[in-house]
């Protein structure tokens, strides 16, 4: 008679059932005991790993990261200071001092204010007089194309005349001036964001330039004007602060 199969001991059968139960739990819950590390470095259970993406902006010229938060409206790096100085000596002495400051609102639009002082000493026979002329102005400039910009300005000047017989007179001269200008950068960078494909940020615009302007003066006080020619020609220098 053959050998009869030996029954499995009850104790071993209990151990086998426990192992099978643990295996089933592991198969049904593969991520139940997964551990991931959060950004603070702590171990947390029952959390699926996540991928965090941080958006950053870059200056196309320097490729250095810049903060992506809101930019303040006021920035000293957008300011320019300069103006023009003119003088002529001879029978008629003429001196002109016209300082101004400008602010780059956008990559193609500027606003500014300025002041003017002119001294005239006319020593022509039968027309001798001296004059002190002073006042201020506000202006706006919009870049158009290839360094060309449109210029609009309001100017108010007061003139004090002294005649050859020491008689005096004071006149006011409000004027509007409109025309075109051309900006020539002095540091190799573009004078306007319109000179670059897709525009440009203020951070890479020229920090110094020479402006040539041809302006048409319009007297706002008919019969009184300080402009004897139909076009006023100006040369100004602007330096970034």
Tell me, what CATH number does 202's domain have?
Answer: 2.40.160.20
Phi, psi dihedrals of residue 127, rounded to the nearest 5°: -145, 40
Helix (H) or strand (E) holding 215: strand 208-219
Average of per-residue pLDDT across 142-169: 91
Per-residue confidence at 107, pLDDT binned at 50, 70, 90?
confident
43 pLDDT above the threshold of 60: no
Alpha-carbon distance of 72 to 74, in angstroms, equals: 5
Domain that holds residue 135: 77-240
Assess if residue 21 is contained within a domain. no
Number of structural domains in the chain: 1
41 pLDDT above the threshold of 90: no
Assess if residue 195 is contained within a domain. yes
Assess if residue 18 is contained within a domain. no
92 pLDDT above the threshold of 80: yes
Nearest C-alpha neighbor of 112 from the set 91, 135, 83: 83
220 pLDDT above the threshold of 50: yes
Assess if residue 39 is contained within a domain. no
- Tell me how many degrees the CA angle 77-79-84 measures, rounded to the nearest 5: 140
Assess if residue 206 is contained within a domain. yes
What local confidence, expressed as pLDDT, does residue 40 receive? Answer: 52
151: helix, coil or strand? strand
């Amino acid at each position: 008679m053959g050998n009869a199969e030996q029954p499995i001991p009850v104790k071993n059968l209990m151990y086998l059932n426990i192992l099978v139960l643990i295996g089933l739990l592991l198969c049904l819950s593969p991520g139940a005991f997964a551990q991931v590390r959060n950004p603070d470095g702590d171990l947390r259970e029952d959390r699926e790993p996540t991928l965090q993406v941080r958006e950053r902006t870059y200056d196309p010229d320097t490729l250095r990261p810049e903060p992506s938060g809101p930019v303040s409206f006021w920035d000293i790096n957008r300011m320019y200071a300069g103006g023009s100085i003119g003088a002529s000596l001879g029978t008629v002495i003429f001196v002109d001092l016209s300082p101004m400051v400008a602010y780059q609102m956008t990559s193609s639009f500027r606003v500014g204010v300025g002041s003017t002082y002119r001294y005239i000493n006319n020593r022509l026979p039968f027309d001798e007089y001296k004059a002190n002329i002073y006042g201020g102005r506000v202006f706006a400039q919009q870049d158009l194309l290839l360094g060309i910009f449109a210029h609009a300005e309001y100017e108010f000047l007061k003139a004090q005349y002294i005649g050859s017989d020491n008689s005096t007179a004071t006149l006011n001269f409000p004027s509007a001036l409109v025309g075109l200008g051309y900006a020539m950068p002095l540091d190799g960078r573009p004078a306007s964001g319109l000179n670059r494909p897709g525009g440009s940020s203020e951070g890479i615009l020229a920090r110094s330039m020479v402006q040539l302007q041809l302006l048409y003066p319009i007297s706002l006080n008919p019969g009184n004007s300080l402009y004897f020619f139909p076009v006023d020609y100006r040369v100004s220098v602007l330096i970034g602060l």
